[in-house]
A and B are shown apart, each in its own frame.
Chain A
Amino acid sequence: DGGITQSPKYLFRKEGQNVTLSCEQNLNHDAMYWYRQDPGQGLRLIYYSQIVNDFQKGDIAEGYSVSREKKESFPLTVTSAQKNPTAFYLCASSGSGTGHQNEKLFFGSGTQLSVL
């Protein structure tokens, strides 16, 4: 079955540590996105990539970094510069081309990051 896989489901970070959240999709989608969700709040865009080897900052990119070396993969690194990393992180992808099916975002099941 096609879909988006995020791992791990739960992640703990120590002070001063970088951690990387994995996101893999087998939907052959061009675009991928990372969102952050804080309790009781909406989703805020961290980074997005419309094509391999290219990505753009979203609204809250500070303290985060990404790479897009392969179409299938869009890992997110939460660096030690991110002082409040505790949140639920969602990865998503969308297709290109015309058609209703390409309009919607497909989401992974999320990673809950907590600080020890």
Chain B
Amino acid sequence: AQKITQTQPGMFVQEKEAVTLDCTYDTSDPSYGLFWYKQPSSGEMIFLIYQGSYDQQNATEGRYSLNFQKARKSANLVISASQLGDSAMYFCAMREGAYNTDKLIFGTGTRLQVFP
């Protein structure tokens, strides 16, 4: 079974609009972490936001927020006020277990295109 599922292979959004990228996860471990990364065409992976399984509030980092719905095992990324530079691949990832050095499992990604 897939541990991380991103069902949207591609998304379009107009500049200055908000967009939600979906991510669902599957784990029986009570301790886990959820991540979103951005990969521009240059190839490097850029960390965007992190949510711990015990965090009470949804994580926010500037224009990025994570809509964490634990019971539904959902960790959607919301980008507000989209910019042309947001066009990239976006990956959701999960770390199972309590240790920071445990491995990360990635989803297949969503390609976001922002148009003027």
- Residue of A44, A94, A109 touching B101 (CB-CB under 8 A): A94
- In the complex, which residues of chain A have a beta carbon less than 8 angstroms from the beta carbon of B52? 103
**What is the total number of residues of chain A having a CB less than 8 Å from a CB of chain B?**
32
Q: How far is the CB of B21 from chain A (nearest CB, A)?
A: 13
Query: Do A104 and B43 have beta carbons less than 8 Å apart?
Result: no
- In the complex, which residues of chain A have a beta carbon less than 8 angstroms from the beta carbon of B108? 41-42
How far does the alpha carbon of A96 sit from the alpha carbon of B107 in the complex, in Å? 24
How far does the alpha carbon of A73 sit from the alpha carbon of B50 in the complex, in Å? 26
Q: How far is the CB of B101 from chain A (nearest CB, A)?
A: 4
Q: How far is the CB of B6 from chain A (nearest CB, A)?
A: 8
- Residue of B35, B45, B50 touching A90 (CB-CB under 8 A): B45
Q: How far is the CB of B89 from chain A (nearest CB, A)?
A: 9
Q: A30-B101, A102-B100 in contact; A42/B50 too (CB < 8 A)?
A: no
Query: What's the interface size class on B, roughly?
Result: 20 to 34
Query: Do A103 and B103 have beta carbons less than 8 Å apart?
Result: no
B29 within 8 A of A: no
How far does the alpha carbon of A68 sit from the alpha carbon of B109 in the complex, in Å? 30
Q: How far is the CB of A56 from chain B (nearest CB, A)?
A: 8
Q: How far is the CB of B10 from chain A (nearest CB, A)?
A: 10
- In the complex, which residues of chain A have a beta carbon less than 8 angstroms from the beta carbon of B42? 109
A100 within 8 A of B: yes
A binding-site residues for B, Cβ under 8 Å: 30-31, 33, 35, 41-45, 48, 50-51, 56, 58, 88, 90, 92, 94-97, 100, 102-110, 112
